[in-house]
């Protein structure tokens, strides 16, 4: 059967080639950026491996031979799941990679902001030497580190937060309070998440219910010393409202690795916002995580085309 890698940003795809061709399939590659490019490249293919290419309804309607779509990664924002389901095309992602990497990145952003490392570094580079930080620094043992969401990555973040002495807490309406409490995690309501937390780290999927989960109204609920971290999905945060809150002193700081539109536009107010620490969607990356992602995605393709049960079906 014919397998198309619709687009990729990896240094090579030899891992996928070895796994897929060893199973007797033909592997094709492209760098599709638009639906029109994808429609042309995917003709007569039985499976697609997709990184960022847009698989919308118009594309799905042309996938007459396709049986399977595998998303390189966790999020599926670029896939029209209802259209794929209606077309009878199986879909899966790779939700069990880069857990440690994203958790490490989340903690790194939080620690840097709480200890005011970027701000102090900038002051030193300007020739201003003081043995007190630019603003008050909270004691970690008296601070509540909360996650919005309580999945794999959120749990890993809270395990790291415990090691630094934080009080772990979480908001997740889809996880039982008993489950969180049994693991020593304080259960928070939605309002308490925003009003009581000293750190809020976002680990939610993006959908209609979570679009702008952190809105201007929610930002007003937060303490002026609270730090917000987002390594999940850019659309969870109203970033223009966030920039305003940072500049007005309404919020202590924000560390973001993901944005509503990427790359972040040059004129976006976050680029000049006070106490903002921005990285370019790199939280997922390490030598180990990239190799793991490529291997697991290719293995799902082989399983799916062989008619075997998918490990991570959507």
Give me the count of residues in the chain: 314
CA-wise closest residue to 107 among 59, 154, 71, 53: 154
Query: Is 262 one of the catalytic residues?
Result: yes
Rounded Cα distance between 148 and 163, Å, is 19
Q: Which residues pair with 2 in a beta bridge?
A: 26
Catalytic, out of 233, 260, 299, 300: 233
Find out whether 47 and 69 touch, Cβ atoms under 8 Å: yes
Catalytic, out of 40, 183, 262, 308: 262
Catalytic, out of 2, 67, 115, 281: 281
Residue with tokens 């007797």: 24
Query: Is 233 one of the catalytic residues?
Result: yes
Query: Is 203 one of the catalytic residues?
Result: no
What's the burial of 128, exposed, middle or buried (CB within 10 Å: 0-12/13-18/19+)? exposed
Rounded Cα distance between 161 and 133, Å, is 22
Q: How many CB atoms lie within 10 A of CB 127?
A: 6
φ/ψ (deg, to 5) at 171:
-120, 125
284: Cα within 13 Å, side-chain hemisphere? 19
Angle between helices 152-163 and 99-114 (to 10 degrees): 40
Angle between helices 14-22 and 287-305 (to 10 degrees): 20
**How far does the chain reach from its first CA to its final CA, in angstroms?**
22
Active-site residues, by number, are 233, 262, 281
């Amino acid at each position: 059967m014919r397998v198309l890698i619709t687009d990729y940003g990896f240094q090579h795809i030899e891992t996928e080639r070895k796994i897929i061709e060893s199973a007797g399939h033909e592997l094709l590659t492209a760098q599709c950026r638009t639906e029109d490019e994808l429609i042309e490249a995917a003709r007569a293919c039985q499976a697609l491996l997709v990184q960022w290419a847009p698989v919308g309804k118009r594309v799905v309607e042309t996938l007459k031979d396709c049986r399977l779509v595998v998303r390189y990664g966790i999020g599926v924002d670029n896939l029209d799941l209802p259209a794929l389901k209606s077309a009878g095309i199986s879909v899966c992602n790779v939700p069990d990679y880069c857990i440690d990497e994203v958790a490490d990145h989340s903690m790194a952003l939080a620690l840097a902001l709480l200890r005011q490392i970027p701000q102090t570094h900038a002051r030193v580079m300007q020739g201003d030497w003081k043995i007190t930080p630019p603003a008050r620094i909270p004691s970690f043992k008296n601070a509540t580190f909360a996650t919005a969401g309580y999945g794999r990555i959120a749990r890993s973040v809270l395990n790291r937060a415990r090691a630094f002495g934080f009080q772990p807490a979480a908001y997740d309406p889809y996880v039982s309070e008993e489950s969180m409490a049994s693991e020593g995690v304080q259960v928070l309501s939605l309002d308490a998440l925003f009003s009581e937390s000293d750190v809020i780290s976002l680990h939610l999927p993006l959908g209609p219910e979570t679009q702008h989960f952190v809105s201007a109204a929610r930002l007003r609920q937060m303490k002026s010393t609270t730090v917000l971290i987002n390594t999940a999905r850019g659309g969870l945060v109203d970033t223009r409202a966030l920039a305003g809150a940072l500049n007005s002193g309404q919020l202590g700081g924000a560390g973001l690795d993901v944005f509503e539109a990427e790359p972040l536009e040059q004129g976006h107010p976050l680029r000049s916002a006070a106490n903002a620490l921005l990285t370019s969607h790199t939280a997922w990356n390490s030598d180990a995580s990239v190799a793991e992602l490529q291997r697991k995605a290719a293995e799902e393709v082989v399983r799916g085309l062989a008619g075997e049960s998918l490990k991570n079906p959507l």
